[in-house]
C-alpha cells in the first residue's frame, strides 16, 4: 500500500488502528502448565490472563504539588546498573531515570493501554515520503535543555551519530542501522552521516533510511534517539558511564542533582523549571524532588519499604500475596505490561545449539513447568507465555509456540529421539542468570524439571555483576535468562532487537543468526501495510520458536511494585516506565 506524504496525525491514526485490531479481543490467553509437581506429570491446564490487559490510565491533574518521593522500586539490583545515559541505557530500572530527565521527538500516549497513540513531543510534527524511506521531523522552537541551551535539530543529529558510534559501542547502536549508512557508523568507517540533515534555521531534521521502515517514528521515541546538549557532548563525547560520566543534561520534567556509585547510594532528581510540558499539556511536574535509592537486590529494597522507608518498593518472590493484601499499600500487580520473560539457547553452543540438537531443545522447553514457576515464584500473578511477543503488540498471535506447553510425555519422546540419533550429554547443562531477585527460584525449578522429566543434570551459573554484558559475549550463553520490556509497541521490537543478527553482542544474548528468520524480519521491516507486516513477523516468530527452537518463553510481565496509599498518579504503563511528572503525594 503506497503511503502519501503525511504529518503526525495520520500516522498516529494508523498506529491506533493497528493496535486496536491486535489488542482488544479476548484478554484470556491459553497456556498449558503442568500439575505443579516439578514437571514430572502429564497433566496440562489452561491459564487465563491475570491482568487487566485493557485499562484506562487516569491521572488526577489537580494532585498536590511539592514534596520528595523516595523510590526503592526501580534500582533494586545495583549490580546491573551501568548508565542512564540515553544513548547507552540498557535496563528498565535505569530507564526510569532516563525518561524523567529527557524527552524525545515522539512519545506514546498510553491513556488507553490497548489503544496507544504515537504523538509528537519535542517534534511538532513529522512527514514521510510515499515508501517510508525518508522522514522529516519539525522541531518545536521553544524547547531547551535544563541548562538553558536551546534544542536544535543538530542536537539530535549529534546524539544519533554518537549513539551509533563504534567508540560508544552502545548495546542499542544497531538501531542506527535503520538509517542510510548507519552500518558504517557501527563499524567505525564513518563518524557523521549525510543521511541525517539537521537544518537549524528551518528547525527540521530529515532522515533517510537504509530501507523502508514504517515503524521509524515509533522507533524514534526510544532513548537512543534523544537529543544531546552541546555542553554534554563537549564534555563527554563518545564515552559514557554512570551519572555524570555519561551525558546528564536533559530536557525532561526533572534534572539531575546527584548520582552516587552505581552499586550503592542514590540518584537525586529535582524539578526542571525549563521543561516545556508533556503530551497532555501538563507544564510542570508535581514533585519537587525524586530520590532513587540503590539496593543490592529486591529483597533488601522490599524490607526497607516494609520497615517504613520510602514511598514505593518492588515485590520479591514469596511476597506478592502479603503485599497485595496489606491495606496500607497499593500495588501495580494487575497492570499488564508489554514484557516477556524467557531463556535463550546459545545458537552456536556445541551442547544445545545447532540443527543436530533441535529435538533436545524441544524436549527441554516442554519439560519446563511454566505454571509451577508462575505459582512458586510469582504467586500466580503473571500470564503464562505462548510466545515471545505479548498481547497488545500489533500482529500478536495467540498460542503461536508449539513447544511452550508443559508436556512430559512429548518431552521424553523428543529427548529419546535425540538420543537415538546419537545425542549425548557428557556434562551438566549450564543455566546462566543474573543473581538476585526471583531468578534463582526460577532456575532451581527449571533444574528440577529437567531432572525429573528427562533425567538431565543442570548446573546453575549465577552472574553477580554486569550480567547483560557478560552473557552477550561469544560462547557465554548455553541456556541463559533473558527478559524484555518493549521500548515501543511494535512486533519488530521483540523480533529484531532480541533475535536479529544485527543485535548480536547486544540484546541478542543467544547470538541467534538464522537466515530464514533474517529474511522474514527484513521483509517485515520493508512492508508498509500493517496487516502484512504483522503476518511476516508472526512467520519470523514461528521460525524462531517452532523450527529452530531457539528460545524458551516462560511468562509475560505484569506490574510488580507496591506504593503507599498517600501516593497519587503512580502506575506502570505498558512500557513499564512511570510517568514521573504525574506522580504526587498527599500529606
What pLDDT score was predicted for residue 52?
A: 52
pLDDT of residue 171: 85
Residue 521 lies in a domain: yes
3 state SS of 161: helix
38 within a domain of the structure (yes/no): no
What does the DSSP assignment read for 9-43? Answer: HHHHHHHHHHHHHHHSS------EE--SSSS----
Please report the pLDDT score of residue 31 as a whole number. 28
User: What is the CATH classification number for the domain harbouring 288?
Assistant: 3.40.190.10
Q: What is the CATH number of the domain that holds 372?
A: 3.10.105.10
| Cα–Cα distance for residue pair 238/185, rounded to 1 Å | 12
**What is the C-alpha separation between 381 and 239, in angstroms, rounded?**
40
Kindly state whether residue 328 falls inside one of the protein's structural domains. no
Name the nearest CA neighbour of 364 among 421, 406, 422: 406
- Are the C-beta atoms of residues 130 and 5 closer than 8 Å to each other? yes
Q: With 0-12 CB in 10 A as exposed, 13-18 as middle and 19+ as buried, what is 163?
A: buried
| pLDDT at res. 336 | 79
Q: Are residues 124 and 260 in the same domain?
A: yes
Q: What pLDDT score was predicted for residue 431?
A: 98
Q: Nearest 5°: phi and psi at 119?
A: -130, 160
Are 395 and 494 within one domain? yes
- What DSSP line would sit under 47-99, residue for residue? ----S-SS-B----TTPPP--EEEE-SSS--GGG-----TTT--SHHHHHHHH
Task: Note whether 465 and 424 are same-domain residues.
Answer: yes
The total of structural domains in the chain comes to 2
pLDDT tens for the chain, residues 1 to 587: 222 222 333 333 333 333 333 333 222 222 222 222 233 332 222 233 344 567 788 899 899 999 999 999 999 988 889 999 999 998 889 999 999 999 999 999 988 887 778 999 999 999 999 888 999 999 999 999 999 999 999 999 999 999 999 999 998 898 999 999 999 999 999 999 999 999 999 999 999 999 988 889 999 999 999 999 999 999 999 999 999 999 999 999 999 999 999 988 999 999 999 999 988 889 999 999 999 999 999 999 999 999 999 999 999 988 999 999 999 999 999 887 899 999 999 999 999 999 999 999 999 999 999 999 999 999 999 989 999 999 888 889 999 999 999 999 999 999 999 999 999 999 999 999 999 778 999 999 999 999 999 999 999 999 998 899 899 999 999 999 999 989 888 999 999 999 999 899 989 999 999 999 999 999 998 887 889 999 999 999 999 999 999 999 999 998 899 999 999 999 888 898 999 999 999 98
User: Is residue 564 situated within a structural domain?
Assistant: no
Co-location of 580 and 551 in the same domain: no
- Please report whether residue 115 resides in a domain: yes
Are 284 and 342 contained in the same domain? no
22 vs 333, 393, 398, CA distance in Å? 23, 6, 10
**46 assigned to some structural domain:** no
Residue 491 lies in a domain: yes
Helix (H) or strand (E) holding 138: strand 134-139
- For residue 53, the model assigns a pLDDT of 62
Domain assignment of residue 263, given as a range = 68-301+569-585
Q: Regarding beta strands 106-109 and 254-259, do their DSSP bridges make them parallel or antiparallel, or are they unpaired?
A: unpaired
Contact yes or no for 269/257 (Cβ under 8 A): yes
Q: Quick one: cell of 262?
A: 552505581
Supply the pLDDT for residue 467.
Answer: 93
Q: Do 348 and 230 share a structural domain?
A: no
Same domain, yes or no: 346 and 221: no
157 shares a domain with 120: yes
Residues 370 and 258 placed together within one structural domain of the fold: no
The reply to whether 237 and 360 lie within a common domain is: no
Based on the domain organization, do 294 and 145 belong to the same domain? Answer: yes
Whether 574 and 530 share a structural domain = no
Residue 501 counted as domain residue: yes
Amino acid at each position: 500500500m503506497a503511503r502519501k506524504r503525511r504529518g503526525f496525525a495520520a500516522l498516529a491514526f494508523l498506529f491506533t488502528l493497528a493496535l486496536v485490531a491486535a489488542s482488544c479481543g479476548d484478554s484470556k490467553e491459553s497456556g498449558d502448565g503442568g500439575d505443579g509437581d516439578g514437571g514430572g506429570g502429564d497433566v496440562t491446564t489452561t491459564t487465563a490472563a491475570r491482568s487487566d490487559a485493557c485499562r484506562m490510565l487516569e491521572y488526577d491533574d489537580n494532585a498536590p504539588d511539592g514534596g520528595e518521593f523516595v523510590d526503592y522500586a526501580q534500582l533494586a539490583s545495583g549490580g546491573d546498573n551501568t548508565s542512564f545515559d540515553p544513548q547507552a541505557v540498557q535496563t528498565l530500572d535505569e530507564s526510569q531515570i532516563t525518561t524523567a530527565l529527557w524527552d524525545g521527538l515522539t512519545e506514546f500516549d498510553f491513556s488507553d493501554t490497548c489503544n496507544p497513540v504515537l504523538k509528537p513531543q519535542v517534534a511538532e510534527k513529522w512527514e514521510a515520503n510515499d515508501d517510508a524511506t525518508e522522514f522529516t521531523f519539525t522541531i518545536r522552537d521553544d524547547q531547551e535543555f535544563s541548562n538553558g541551551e536551546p534544542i536544535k535539530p543538530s542536537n539530535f543529529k549529534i546524539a544519533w551519530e554518537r549513539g551509533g558510534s563504534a567508540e560508544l559501542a552502545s548495546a542499542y547502536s544497531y538501531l542506527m542501522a535503520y538509517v542510510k549508512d548507519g552500518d558504517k557508523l557501527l563499524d567505525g568507517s564513518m563518524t557523521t552521516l549525510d543521511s541525517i540533515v539537521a537544518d537549524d534555521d528551518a528547525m527540521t531534521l530529515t532522515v533517510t533510511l537504509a530501507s523502508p521502515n514504517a515503524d521509524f517514528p515509533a522507533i524514534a521515541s526510544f532513548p537512543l534517539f534523544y537529543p544531546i546538549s552541546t555542553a554534554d557532548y563537549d564534555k563527554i563525547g563518545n564515552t559514557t558511564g554512570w551519572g555524570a560520566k555519561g551525558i546528564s543534561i536533559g530536557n525532561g520534567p526533572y534534572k539531575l542533582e546527584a548520582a552516587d556509585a552505581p552499586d550503592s547510594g542514590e540518584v537525586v532528581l529535582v524539578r526542571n523549571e525549563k521543561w516545556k510540558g508533556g503530551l497532555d499539556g501538563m507544564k510542570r511536574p508535581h514533585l519537587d524532588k525524586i530520590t532513587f535509592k540503590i539496593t543490592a537486590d529486591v529483597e533488601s529494597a522490599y524490607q526497607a519499604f516494609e520497615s517504613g522507608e520510602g514511598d514505593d518498593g518492588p515485590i520479591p518472590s514469596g511476597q506478592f500475596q502479603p503485599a497485595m493484601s496489606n491495606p496500607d499499600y497499593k500495588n501495580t500487580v494487575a497492570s499488564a505490561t508489554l514484557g516477556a520473560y524467557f531463556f535463550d539457547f546459545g545458537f552456536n553452543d556445541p551442547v544445545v545449539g545447532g540443527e543436530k540438537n533441535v529435538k533436545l531443545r524441544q524436549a527441554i522447553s516442554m519439560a519446563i513447568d511454566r505454571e509451577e514457576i508462575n505459582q512458586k515464584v510469582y504467586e500466580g500473578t503473571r500470564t503464562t507465555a505462548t510466545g515471545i511477543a505479548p498481547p497488545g503488540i500489533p500482529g500478536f498471535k495467540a498460542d503461536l509456540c508449539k513447544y511452550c506447553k508443559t508436556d512430559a510425555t512429548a518431552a521424553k519422546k523428543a529427548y529419546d529421539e535425540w538420543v537415538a540419533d546419537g545425542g549425548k550429554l557428557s556434562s551438566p547443562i549450564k543455566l546462566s542468570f543474573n543473581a538476585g531477585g526471583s531468578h534463582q527460584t526460577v532456575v532451581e525449578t527449571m533444574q528440577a524439571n529437567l531432572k525429573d522429566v528427562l533425567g538431565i543434570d543442570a548446573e546453575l551459573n549465577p552472574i553477580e555483576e554486569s550480567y547483560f554484558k557478560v552473557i552477550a559475549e561469544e560462547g557465554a550463553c548455553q541456556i541463559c535468562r533473558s527478559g524484555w520490556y518493549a521500548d515501543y509497541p511494535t512486533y519488530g521490537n521483540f523480533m529484531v532487537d532480541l533475535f536479529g543478527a544485527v543485535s548480536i553482542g547486544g540484546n541478542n544474548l543467544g547470538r541467534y543468526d538464522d537466515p530464514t528468520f533474517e529474511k522474514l524480519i527484513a521483509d517485515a521491516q520493508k512492508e508498509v501495510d500493517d496487516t502484512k507486516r504483522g503476518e511476516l513477523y508472526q512467520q519470523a516468530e514461528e521460525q524462531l520458536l517452532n523450527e529452530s527452537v531457539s528460545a524458551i518463553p516462560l511468562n509475560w510481565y505484569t506490574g510488580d511494585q507496591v506504593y503507599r496509599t498517600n501516593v497519587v498518579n503512580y502506575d506502570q504503563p505498558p512500557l513499564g516506565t512511570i510517568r514521573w511528572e504525574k506522580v504526587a503525594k498527599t500529606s
